């Protein structure tokens, strides 16, 4: 289940990447924070990830296991040819898409707060970088 949560978090981070093409870092982090904090964006991403997780759970595992074994130069373990990721994931697999739908908006809201914090830190980080440039001799 943790892998699903981590994957959902990473996808939530990647979804609003076009906002980073702003003129200034402050504008980019402000827009990123706004998009991550937007309930409509959160619901849209939660639904999309829920559907993607359901599709993932239905993937057949036998071809994947065969490919991994072949890449390692080994024989593939005996596997039910009709087995899916859901079958191997166990009894909690039926809750994955529901958990994603519940957790993605919460994670996006937290990331929105972090983006706001980063935006506030940018001027101080830029000033620190300038000081370091002046104190570190150039490397030849």
Say if residue 58's pLDDT is above 90. Answer: yes
Say if residue 7's pLDDT is above 70. Answer: no
Per-residue confidence band for 28, with pLDDT thresholds at 50, 70 and 90: confident
d(CA 49, CA 55): 10
pTM for the model stands at: 0.63
Q: Which tokens is 92 given?
A: 């909690």
Beta carbons of 102 and 119 less than 8 angstroms apart: no
d(CA 135, CA 124): 17
Helix, coil or strand: residue 84:
strand
The share of the chain scoring above pLDDT 70, in percent, equals 84
For the chain, domain boundaries: 2-135
Judged by phi (left if over 0) then psi (alpha if -120 to 50, else beta), residue 90 lies in left
Q: What value does the mean pLDDT of the chain take?
A: 84
Q: What is the pLDDT of residues 69-114, one digit of tens each?
A: 999 999 888 889 899 999 988 888 989 888 988 999 999 999 999 9
């Amino acid at each position: 289940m943790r892998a699903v949560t981590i994957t959902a978090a990473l996808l939530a981070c990647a979804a609003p990447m076009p906002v980073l093409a702003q003129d200034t870092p402050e504008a980019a982090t402000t827009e990123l924070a706004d998009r991550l904090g937007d309930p409509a964006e959160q619901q849209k991403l939660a639904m999309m990830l829920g559907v993607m997780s359901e599709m993932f759970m239905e993937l057949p595992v036998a071809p994947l296991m065969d490919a991994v074994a072949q890449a390692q130069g080994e024989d593939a373990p005996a596997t039910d040819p009709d087995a899916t990721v859901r079958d191997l994931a166990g009894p909690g697999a039926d809750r994955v898409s529901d958990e994603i739908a519940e957790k993605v908006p919460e994670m996006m809201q937290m990331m929105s707060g972090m983006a706001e914090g980063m935006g506030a830190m940018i001027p101080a980080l830029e000033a620190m970088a300038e000081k370091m440039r002046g104190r570190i001799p150039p490397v030849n």
